[in-house]
């Protein structure tokens, strides 16, 4: 059952005139070691807020993922759906949301036991899919995703109470240093950087194309990068997996190369961290962005 009770706001944002950098009030690793992660991987995730696993999926599986991503993008009438987001300056598809409900192939990926066991160890128990999508960044035309903490948006606009969610980005094309790959700020998950600016009603209609609210101020971002020791860019072949904490600061630049960058993106949330009322006081965002109706523990694919 979906929780609608108002809970204390431990991470206020978009309510003050000035941004504020404060400490995280939740653990990064919520569960004990189960063997799904090595000791080195646990330590790396705790310290950096992410874990990059190059070539996680074998080539044969990756080819099936690629065919499915291209089939979906080529589907007629797709651009008319609310859960399909186009680029801000064209009708080029930017993201297809709710992908685990649209595609049997990607539903099985989301429930892959190799991923699920790692996520459950990090989050300390059962999880459900909070959000899923495929992000397309075609050569020459793919636009940037500006710096942000996912949790800041999910907290303010969706009512996610605590930092107990993990994002998994699966590369469906090679991620080079030059084709707009994911960039992360190591150590940023240990802090919470609040943002300024009251959230407009139905902000998601614009933010999924180009985010302007819930983005860090330049001074705060520079401080996070200084505290974390720089910016990391996980690169690797198609099939690589990057797991990162919901509060890890990240972004990606535009793709001005001929090489496309397509990623499958799945967010897992703890069943003990289900959504309440948005802390912005506004009505919840649509189901395809923030799942409120299916919070049962996710079962691994057989």
What is the per-residue pLDDT across 122-163, written as a single tens digit (0 to 9) for each? Answer: 999 999 999 999 999 888 888 888 999 999 999 999 999 999
What is the per-residue pLDDT across 89-104, written as a single tens digit (0 to 9) for each? Answer: 777 788 999 999 999 9
As a whole-number percent, the residues of the chain with pLDDT over 90 amount to 78
Averaged pLDDT for residues 266-293: 95
Task: pLDDT band for 3, please (50, 70, 90 cuts).
Answer: very low
What is the per-residue pLDDT across 18-57, written as a single tens digit (0 to 9) for each? Answer: 999 999 999 999 999 999 999 999 999 999 999 999 999 9
CATH 2.60.120.620 fits 21-270, yes or no: yes
Contact 264, 62 (CB under 8 A): no
Over the range 230-251, which residues count as b (16 or more CB within 10 Å of their CB) and which as e?
Answer: eebebbbebbbbbbbbbbbbbb
| 120 vs 93, more confident | 120
Q: Average the pLDDT over each of 120-124, 163-167, 285-289 and give the range with the smallest value.
A: 285-289
- Six-digit token string for 240: 């690589």
Q: What is the reported pLDDT for 74?
A: 87
- Six-digit token string for 90: 């064209």
Contact 274, 2 (CB under 8 A): yes
Average pLDDT, the chain: 91
Q: Strand, helix or coil at 166?
A: strand
HSE toward the beta carbon, residue 47, CA cutoff 13 A: 8
Q: What is the reported pLDDT for 232?
A: 97
Q: Average the pLDDT over each of 77-91, 119-133, 241-255, 281-295 and give the range with the smallest value.
A: 77-91
Q: What is the reported pLDDT for 90?
A: 73
| 83 vs 45, more confident | 45
Task: pLDDT band for 231, please (50, 70, 90 cuts).
Answer: very high
Q: Domain limits of the chain?
A: 21-270
195-199, 213-217, 251-255: which has the highest mean pLDDT? 251-255
- Longest Cα–Cα distance of the chain, Å, equals 52
Task: pLDDT band for 1, please (50, 70, 90 cuts).
Answer: very low
Q: Is the pLDDT of residue 2 over 60?
A: no
Residue 173 to residue 235: CA distance in whole angstroms = 11
Averaged pLDDT for residues 184-198: 95
Q: What is the reported pLDDT for 80?
A: 77
Q: What does the DSSP assignment read for 49-104?
A: SEEEETT-S-HHHHHHHHHHHHHHHH-TTGGGSTTEEE-TTSS-EEEEESHHHH-H
Q: Is the pLDDT of residue 228 over 50?
A: yes
Averaged pLDDT for residues 104-127: 98
Residue 136 to residue 233: CA distance in whole angstroms = 18
Contacts of 99 (CB under 8 A, 6+ apart): 72, 106, 132, 133, 134, 264
Residue 100 to residue 153: CA distance in whole angstroms = 21
Q: What is the pTM of this model?
A: 0.93
């Amino acid at each position: 059952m979906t929780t609608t009770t108002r809970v204390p706001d431990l991470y206020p944002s978009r309510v003050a005139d000035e941004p504020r950098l404060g400490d995280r009030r939740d653990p990064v690793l919520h569960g004990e070691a189960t063997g799904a992660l090595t000791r080195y991987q646990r330590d790396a995730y705790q310290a950096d807020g992410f874990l990059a696993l190059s070539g996680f999926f074998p080539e044969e599986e990756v080819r099936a993922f690629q065919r499915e991503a291209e089939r979906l993008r080529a589907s007629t009438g797709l651009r008319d759906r609310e859960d399909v987001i186009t680029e801000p300056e064209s009708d080029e598809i930017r993201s297809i949301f709710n992908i685990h409900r649209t595609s049997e192939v990607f539903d099985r990926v989301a429930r892959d036991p190799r991923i699920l066991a790692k996520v459950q160890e990090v989050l300390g128990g059962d999880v459900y899919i909070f959000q899923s999508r495929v992000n397309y960044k075609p050569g020459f035309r793919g636009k940037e995703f500006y710096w942000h903490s996912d949790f800041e948006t999910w907290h303010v606009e969706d009512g996610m109470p605590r930092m107990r969610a993990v994002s998994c980005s699966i590369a469906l094309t090679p991620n080079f240093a030059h084709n707009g790959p994911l960039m992360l700020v190591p150590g940023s998950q240990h802090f919470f950087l609040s943002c300024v600016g009251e959230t407009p009603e139905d902000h998601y209609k614009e933010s999924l194309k180009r985010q302007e609210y819930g983005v860090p101020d330049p001074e705060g971002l520079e401080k996070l990068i200084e505290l974390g020791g720089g910016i990391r860019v996980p690169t690797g072949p198609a099939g690589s997996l990057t797991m990162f904490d919901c509060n890890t600061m990240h972004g990606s630049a535009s793709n001005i190369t001929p090489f496309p960058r397509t990623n499958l993106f799945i967010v897992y949330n703890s069943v003990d961290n289900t959504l309440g009322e948005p802390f912005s006081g506004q009505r919840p965002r649509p189901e395809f962005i923030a799942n409120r109706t299916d919070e049962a523990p996710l079962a691994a694919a057989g």
